[in-house]
Structures are given as structure tokens and as C-alpha cells.
Structure 1
């Protein structure tokens, strides 16, 4: 991982040098924008490099949607025979040239970058020896500038969980650090959830159980991980994560609207309604709408019953004898007709 650490530090230093010539050298709004923008453009650099893989990810997801009818046929054909089903599914993937893991590949490729930045920021500590300051090609002024760099008066090397003793070494206020870190963690959780929700809303829940499990993990598992671990990340790392999510949201929006999934593919998935449901499941109607529908049905039934009763009453009056007329004997009437005949 030494090469990763060195590469990440060099990209940060490059962008710091660029922005140091653009923005004022002094702190503005309690922020050293050269270092904050260096982290932001580290993300942009990584995303530009990974963009072709992101496009392949979208194509792979479309291909997975396109083969869903064949997947359903295999599931019905080999129901109860899991081993044979897995073999046939793998064979189908090979025939259609589909890689189900491609959907997670961009995220996995960013993990080394995330770990590298985490390591570099943890390396930035006051009181470090001159040799350690220059470990990844940093000059001593650059190292000290990064240690002192802040976002709204909170050092980018500080964490929500930093002890009072550690914060005292970098002359940071504990309350300020906790407020800034907590807001960034909340943004990190929200944007992580929204990036996955955006994709599922457009493509729907996959009908394949394994793929749906991956979708559920991405939608709920990753945000839960950020919730439980974000408090231990340096503020600089959280800036990286939030920026990465924001770029992902914009990138996905552009790709999904420019190249929407085909109707034949989305027809084989369950639409996103806040959670996975069985395909074809009717959405229950509740609340005031249900009461209104019930009242209309009852009123219509009452009107139909009243109309039927009125018709029956009218028919009864038509068949009844007029006042003063002799009642007709059916039997006699029938005999007279026979005699006359």
C-alpha cells in the first residue's frame, strides 16, 4: 500500500499547489480552501480516471435487466435444484457476457483511494520528526500547512471522536470539531443513501434474489456502515466521501436520463416503492381515499336496491285487478277457451 499512499499524497500536493495560486493564502470563513479544494479535486481526478468503468457498470446493469426473463425461466425449470440452477445461471452469464460483479466494481476500486487518504491524514500529526514529515514527498512547510488546515475552524485531520488531548495539540475547539464532523457525517449518510436510491428508482428492484440482495446491501448496508464508522473518520476523509457522493448523484442523473433503461428491461423488475415488493403486487389504498371509495360503493348499492324495489312495486300494480272489476279465474278462463276452440 506504500505506493497508494505516495500517489494519493502527490495528487493532493499537486492540487494544493494549483489552488494556492488561485485562492488567498490566508484563512477565509475559518477555512483553508487550498487544502479543502485539494481533497475535492482528488475526488474529481479519481472519478475522471474511473469514468470508463462507471459506463461499463451501467451497461452491465442494463445487461442484467435484459436477461431477467431467461433468469426466471431457469428458476422455474430448476426450482428446488439449487446446484443445477447456479451452474445454469453461470452458463447464462458466460453466453450473454454479463458480469454481475461489475455493478460494485467502481466502489471497490475507490476503496484503496479512500484508505490511502485516511492513512495520509492520520500521518499528519504535530510533533512529528522531520524524516516522517517528508515520508511521502512532502516538504516541511507543506506538512505543517496540512496539519493546520481547517474547515470552518475544525482541523481536517480531527475526528468527532478525537480526545481533548489530541485536539489541544492542534489548538482545536472540541465543540466546533464535533459540530462540523456531525454535520458532515449526516451529509455522508444522506448522500450515500440517495446515490443508491436514485439508481433503484430508475431501474427498479431486480427480480433475481441474489441481485436484489446486492441492491438491498447497497441501499441500506453502506449507509449503516457510514453511520457506525463515520465518527472515527478525519474530517478530510468525510469531505472526500461527501464530494464523491455528490459527483455520483450528478453522474448517474446524466447517464440514466441520457441512456434510460429499455422498457423491456424495466418491465421485468419491481418498481421502487420505498422497498422491495413482489412483482404484480397491488398497492393498497388507504386513508381518506379508501373511506371515500367505500362510501361511493355503499351509495351505489343503495341506489340499485331502491331502483329494484321501485320496479318490483310497479310491476305488482300493473298485474293487480282494477277497482270494481271481477277477479279472473284462471281455471275458468282456460276451460272457456278450450270450449270455444
Structure 2
């Protein structure tokens, strides 16, 4: 990982030099913006490099969504035969030229960058020997400047869980560090949730139970992970994460409009609702007391119809008429010819 640490350091130092030449080297609003912007532009540099792969990722996801109907057919056809199903699925991937691993590639490529920045910021601490300061291409002055860099008077190398002894070494106020770190962690959780919500809102909930479980984990599990782990990240790392999420929101918005999900995939998914995923058929069915009330109302209406028919039949019998008689028969007019019963007519009637 030494090469990753060296590369991350070089990119940060390059952007620090650029911003240091643009703005004077002093704090504004208690912040050394040269170092803050160096971290922000580290994110931008990584995202620009990975942007072609990001586009391939989106195209791969769209291709995966397009073949979902065929995947369901294979799952129904080879239900219970796992080995045959896997072979048929791989054959389908080859025929459609789909690579399911491409969807995760940009995320995997960003993990070494995140770990590298985390290591470099943890390496920046007072009391380090001159030899250690010059690791990864730093000079002694650049190292000390980064250790002293702050965002709203909170050092970027500090974290919410920093001990009083650690904060004393870098002359930081514990309350200030905790407030700034807590605000950034809240932003990190919010933007992480919004990036997942934006994608699910556009594509809808997957009807496959396993895929829907993954969507729920991405929507709720990862933000919870950032809540529990954010307290141990240096402020500089949280700045990186929030910036990365903000860029992801912008990229996803552009991609979702330029490469919308295929119609077949959208129609097979359940529309997104903030309360969670529900099937459209399930959403129309009452539940709980509503179901009991609806059932009782239907039974009462059926009973009322039955009673009405019985009352009608009883009244007709009392009047001496058939219950199903449509209308009383009329006497024939005087002079009218009688109807021949052989032709299917009624019996001859005596004229009055």
C-alpha cells in the first residue's frame, strides 16, 4: 500500500500548492482552506479519472435490468436445480455481453483511495521524527502545515473520539472538535442515504426478494455504518466522504436522465415509496381492522340481498302469482283470432 499512500500524498500536495498560490496562507473563518480544498480536489481528481468506468458501470446496470425478465424465466424454469440455473445464467450473460461485476468496480477502485487518505491523515501528528515526516514525498514544512490545518478551528487530523491528550498535542478544543465532527458526520449520513434513495426512487424496488434485501441494506445499512464509524474518522476523511457523496448525487442525476432505466425493468419493479417497498396488489388490500370492517360490510350486503329475494318470493306467493312472473297476462281483444296451440301458442280463450 506504500505506493497508494505516496500517490494520495502527491495529489494532495499538488492541489495544496495550487490553492496556496491563489489565496494567502492564513486562516479565514478559522479554516486553512488550502488544505480543505486540497482534499476536495483529491476527490474531484479521483472521480474524473474514474468517470469512464462510472459510465460503463451505469450501462452494465441498465443491461442487467433489461435482462431481468429472461432471468425470471430461467429461475422459474430451473427452480430447484441450482447447478443448471447457474450455467444458464452464465450463458445468458455471455449472449447479452453483460458483466455483473462491472457494477461494483468504481466502488472497489475508490476503497484504496479512501484507505490511503485515512492512513496519511493518521500519519500526520506532532512529535513525528524528521525521517517519518518525509515519507510519501512530504517535506518537513508541508507536514507541519498539514498537522496545523483546521476547519472552523477543528484540526483536520482530529476526530470525534480523540482523547484530551491527543487534542492537547495539536492545541485543539475538545468541544469545537466534537461539534464540527458531529455536523460533518450528520452530513455524511444524510448524503449517503440520499445517494441510495435517488437511485431506488428512479428505478423502483426490485421485485426479487434477495435484490430488494440488498437495496434495503444499501439504503439503511450503509448510512448506519457511517454513523457508527464516523466518530473514529479524522475530520479530513469525513470531508472526503461528504464531497464524494455530493459529486455522486450530481453524477447520478445526470446519468439517470441521460441513460434512464429500460421500460421493461421499470415496469417489473415496484414504485418507490418513502415508507418502504410494497407490491401494488398488496397496497390495495385492507389490513387489520380495515379488513374486518370490509368483510363484515360485504357479509351484511349479501344477507340483505338474500332477505330481499325471500321477501319478494313470499309476497308473490301470497298474491297467488308466480314469483318469477314478469307481468300479468292480458285478455285477447274481441274479434281476435285464437292462437293455435299446435304452433306453440297458448290455449284458446273464450271471447267475452
TM-score range, shorter chain: 0.7 to 0.9
1:339, distance to aligned residue in structure 2 (A): 8.0
Task: Provide the residue aligned with 2:350 in structure 1.
Answer: 340
**In 2, distance between residues paired with 1:37 and 1:286?**
54
Q: Say if 2:7 is the partner of 1:7.
A: yes
**In 2, distance between residues paired with 1:340 and 1:206?**
80
1:207, distance to aligned residue in structure 2 (A): 3.5
**In 2, distance between residues paired with 1:78 and 1:339?**
76
**In 2, distance between residues paired with 1:152 and 1:233?**
17
* 1:265-280 correspondence runs (5 A): 265-273=265-273, 274-277=275-278, 279-280=279-280
**Alpha carbons of structure 1 residues 96 and 213: separation in structure 2 relative to 1, 3 Å:** farther
Task: Provide the residue aligned with 2:145 in structure 1.
Answer: 145
CA deviation vs aligned residue, 1:205-240 (integer Å, no higher than 9, x gap): 233455434333322232222111111100000000
1:94, distance to aligned residue in structure 2 (A): 1.9
Task: Provide the residue aligned with 1:224 in structure 2.
Answer: 224
Task: Provide the residue aligned with 1:43 in structure 2.
Answer: 43
SS of equivalent residue, structure 1 residue 43: helix
The count of residues paired between Structure 1 and Structure 2 equals 323
Q: Say if 2:181 is the partner of 1:181.
A: yes
**Alpha carbons of structure 1 residues 76 and 29: separation in structure 2 relative to 1, 3 Å:** same
Task: Provide the residue aligned with 1:331 in structure 2.
Answer: none
1:136, distance to aligned residue in structure 2 (A): 1.2
Task: Provide the residue aligned with 2:111 in structure 1.
Answer: 111
**In 2, distance between residues paired with 1:284 and 1:270?**
13
1:68–1:207: 8 Å Cα contact kept in structure 2? Answer: no
**In 2, distance between residues paired with 1:189 and 1:137?**
33
Give RMSD over aligned pairs.
Answer: 3.6
**Alpha carbons of structure 1 residues 339 and 230: separation in structure 2 relative to 1, 3 Å:** closer
**Alpha carbons of structure 1 residues 84 and 216: separation in structure 2 relative to 1, 3 Å:** farther
Q: Say if 2:30 is the partner of 1:20.
A: no
Unpaired runs of at least 5, structure 2: 320-346
**Alpha carbons of structure 1 residues 191 and 339: separation in structure 2 relative to 1, 3 Å:** closer
Q: Say if 2:53 is the partner of 1:53.
A: yes
Q: After the TM superposition, which segments of 4 or more aligned residues of structure 1 sit over 6 Å from their partners?
A: none
Task: Provide the residue aligned with 2:162 in structure 1.
Answer: 162
**Alpha carbons of structure 1 residues 155 and 285: separation in structure 2 relative to 1, 3 Å:** farther
CA deviation vs aligned residue, 1:5-33 (integer Å, no higher than 9, x gap): 00000000000001111223110111100
Provide the TM-score with structure 2 as the length reference: 0.81
1:159–1:232: 8 Å Cα contact kept in structure 2? Answer: yes
**In 2, distance between residues paired with 1:102 and 1:186?**
30
Task: Provide the residue aligned with 1:66 in structure 2.
Answer: 66
1:246, distance to aligned residue in structure 2 (A): 0.3
Task: Provide the residue aligned with 1:248 in structure 2.
Answer: 248
**Alpha carbons of structure 1 residues 148 and 233: separation in structure 2 relative to 1, 3 Å:** same
SS of equivalent residue, structure 1 residue 159: coil
**In 2, distance between residues paired with 1:143 and 1:283?**
59
Task: Provide the residue aligned with 2:327 in structure 1.
Answer: none
Unpaired runs of at least 5, structure 1: 320-336
Task: Provide the residue aligned with 1:324 in structure 2.
Answer: none
